[in-house]
């Protein structure tokens, strides 16, 4: 290990020393961000194995990108930390990039992460072949390497950071939130997931294709209330224009105030649009035959979740194959990033068993919060169901005033038992492409 500082000068794994005169408050903020940015945290730990106090270097790289005005001290030690920071902030590409990163915590952290990752890669490429060199010579080798390649490092990092931030904006829409509404912790979690899971970007793109249907559905639900009549009352928001005019006119203002205090002003009788009455229980087939469209299925589920969130409905997703997957509960349509990432990253494979998800649906509907739920059932396969089970299932639906709508995916490769599905469904939507089944977004008065 090469020491940048004396043993008593630094705290391992923390940003506690700066050559840029960074305030203690800003150092504390970086250490907090480091607990969220798990990838950068691991890079700091890796760097500490090579250079003691490496986290201070990383903190200063972040401060150099984040802080508006950065200047090197006139008198400084000539150690590795100083050399790297000096090479960084005197580089023209850094100055170009700084215009985007300053005062942007996310971009500064991501940029630092990409740059540090490449710095460590370069260290590993030069140091292992010089194991017999003393610490001073190791520093010289590393300095020579960085002096030659810092511009290349910045150029590569810039392209990747811009691409990642663009993807973050698209993926954040899956949560029904604008990107700026996510906390910095959520933004960094999302960035880590995008880097480790390329399919997440595809799911986000597919969800975006369904968003117009979601928006159209919501616009129908949020139409202005209908005016049925005029009656007397004391609700300012419903006063008719004539009453407002009387309030503004000095000669009639006192009369208006008297009638208003006595609940005798004229106002509209307005009825708000009807609201949906039940949660959603979505049974989604994750048998092996569905693997080729698993991202489409995830996107379809997330589009349903967007509607549930806007309408403040509970939603449950039941993945199934020949067994049940983890049942996901989204109360009032809300979800955490961890919950959605777990859902997007999971897939069961295996055979197909209809009875298990249908039984689980009834079990959920029997719980008080879900007693008015409707069931959406998605499959591309077939299964055995006993006649006695179908009769019990339909009887339970009738008792609970529950509706079951099934989406059947048909193509040349699937053997769907349409007759069987019709026996337990109130309505069947038969499509070749899942995205043709957007009718499911607005079926019935009690479903979505």
Average pLDDT over the chain reads 83
Longest dimension (CA), the chain: 99
Q: What is the pLDDT of residue 27?
A: 94
Classify burial at 395, counting beta carbons within 10 Å of its beta carbon; exposed 0-12, middle 13-18, buried 19 or more.
Answer: exposed
For 377-432, what is each residue's pLDDT tens digit? 999 988 999 999 999 999 999 998 889 999 999 875 667 788 999 999 999 999 99
Q: What is the pLDDT of residue 444?
A: 44
Q: What is the pLDDT of residue 9?
A: 58
Q: Compute the distance between CA of residue 21 and CA of residue 433 in angstroms, rounded to an integer.
A: 59
Q: What is the pTM of this model?
A: 0.71
Q: Which residues contact 199 (CB under 8 A, 6 or more apart)?
A: 295, 344
Contact 378, 299 (CB under 8 A): no
Q: Compute the distance between CA of residue 322 and CA of residue 136 in angstroms, rounded to an integer.
A: 63
Interhelix angle 54-66/80-89, rounded to 10 degrees, is 20
For 245-263, what is each residue's pLDDT tens digit? 888 888 888 888 888 888 8
* Residue 329: Cβ within 10 Å count: 14
Q: Compute the distance between CA of residue 317 and CA of residue 335 in angstroms, rounded to an integer.
A: 12
Residue 95 or 143, more confident: 95
C-alpha 178 chain-centroid distance: 10
For 286-344, what is each residue's pLDDT tens digit? 999 999 999 999 999 999 998 888 888 899 999 999 999 999 999 998 888 889 889 99
C-alpha 162 chain-centroid distance: 18
SS3 labels along 127-196 = CHHHCCCCHHHHHHHHHHHHHHHHHHHHHHHHHHHHHHHHHHHHHHHHHCCCHHHCCHHHHHHHHHHHHH
**Count, residues in the chain:** 448
Burial readout 278-290 (b: 16 or more C-beta within 10 A, e: otherwise): bbbbbbbbbbebb
Q: Compute the distance between CA of residue 393 and CA of residue 400 in angstroms, rounded to an integer.
A: 11
Domains annotated for the chain, with CATH where assigned, are 2-196 (no CATH), 226-271 (no CATH), 280-442 (3.40.50.410)
């Amino acid at each position: 290990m090469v020491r940048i500082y004396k043993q008593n000068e630094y705290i391992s794994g923390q940003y506690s020393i700066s050559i840029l005169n960074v305030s203690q408050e800003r150092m504390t903020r970086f250490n907090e961000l480091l607990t969220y940015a798990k990838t950068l945290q691991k890079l700091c730990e890796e760097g500490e194995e090579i250079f003691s106090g490496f986290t201070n270097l990383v903190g200063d790289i972040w401060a150099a990108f984040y802080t508006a005005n950065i200047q090197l001290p006139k008198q400084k030690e000539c150690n590795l930390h100083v050399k790297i920071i000096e090479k960084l902030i005197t580089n023209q590409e850094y100055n170009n990039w700084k215009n985007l990163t300053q005062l942007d915590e996310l971009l500064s952290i991501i940029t630092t992460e990409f740059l540090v990752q490449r710095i460590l890669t370069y260290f590993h490429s030069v140091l292992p072949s010089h194991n017999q060199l003393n610490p001073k010579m190791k520093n010289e080798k590393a300095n020579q390497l960085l002096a030659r390649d810092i511009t290349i490092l910045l150029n590569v990092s810039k392209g990747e950071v811009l691409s990642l931030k663009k993807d973050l904006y698209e993926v954040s829409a899956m949560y029904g939130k604008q990107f700026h509404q996510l906390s910095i912790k959520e933004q960094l979690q999302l960035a880590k997931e995008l880097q480790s899971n390329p399919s997440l970007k595809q799911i986000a793109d597919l969800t975006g294709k369904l968003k117009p249907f979601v928006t159209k559905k919501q616009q129908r639900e949020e139409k202005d209330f209908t005016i049925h009549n005029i009656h007397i009352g004391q609700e300012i928001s419903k006063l008719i224009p004539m009453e407002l005019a009387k309030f503004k006119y000095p000669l009639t203002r006192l009369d208006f105030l008297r009638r208003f205090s006595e609940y005798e002003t004229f106002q509209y009788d307005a009825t708000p649009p009807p609201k949906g009455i039940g949660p959603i229980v979505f049974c989604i087939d994750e048998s092996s035959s569905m693997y080729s469209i698993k991202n489409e299925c995830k996107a379809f589920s997330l589009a349903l979740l967007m509607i549930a969130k806007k309408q403040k409905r509970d939603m449950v997703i039941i993945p199934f194959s020949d067994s049940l997957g983890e049942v996901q509960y989204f109360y009032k349509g809300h979800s955490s990033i961890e919950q959605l990432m777990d859902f997007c990253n999971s897939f069961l494979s295996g055979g197909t068993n209809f009875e298990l998800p249908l039984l689980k649906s009834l079990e959920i509907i029997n719980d008080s919060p879900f007693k008015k739920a409707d069931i959406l059932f998605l499959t591309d396969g077939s299964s055995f169901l006993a006649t006695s089970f179908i009769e019990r299932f339909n009887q339970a639906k009738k008792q609970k005033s529950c509706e079951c709508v099934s989406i059947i995916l048909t193509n040349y490769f699937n053997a769907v038992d349409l007759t069987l599905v019709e026996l337990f469904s109130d309505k069947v939507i038969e499509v070749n492409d899942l995205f043709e089944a957007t009718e499911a977004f607005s079926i019935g008065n009690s479903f979505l």
